[in-house]
Amino acid sequence: MTKADIVSEISKSTGIEKITVQKAVEAFMESVKGSLAKDQNVYLRGFGSFIVKKRAQKTARNISKNTTIIIPAHNIPAFKPAKTFIGQVKSSVK
């Protein structure tokens, strides 16, 4: 499902114009990205959490040049679904 599909579904179910729904969806995504960029997690009860995971510094190897490089510590965004969400997905197996 794409962002356009989500906008269409919300527009059909609520009767709100697609352009208004699209602006709301994009504003939501920008808000989540902005919060994660500030190292603040976003919690949506019953759906899940958008969290910032911290990766430690590590040593990696470039096998084509046979050299060792150091990858610095960094943050990555992640999504952790709620237990009820996981239960719905697991029970939908056909």
What integer pLDDT is reported at residue 92 of this predicted model? 77
**pLDDT tens figures, 70-83:** 999 999 999 999 99
CB < 8 Å & 24+ apart, contacts of 71-76: 75/39, 76/52
Look up residue 34 and give its amino acid: G
Q: pLDDT at position 24, please?
A: 97
Domain boundaries, the chain: 3-91
Picking from 48, 30, 50, 29, the residue whose alpha carbon sits closest to that of residue 39 is: 50
Instruction: Please say whether the structural domain 3-91 has been given the CATH code 3.40.50.300.
Output: no
Strand partners, 48: 44, 81
DSSP state of 82: -
The predicted model scores a pTM of 0.79
Question: Could you say which DSSP state residue 24 is in?
Answer: H
Q: What integer pLDDT is reported at residue 33 of this predicted model? A: 96
* pLDDT < 50: residue spans in the chain: none
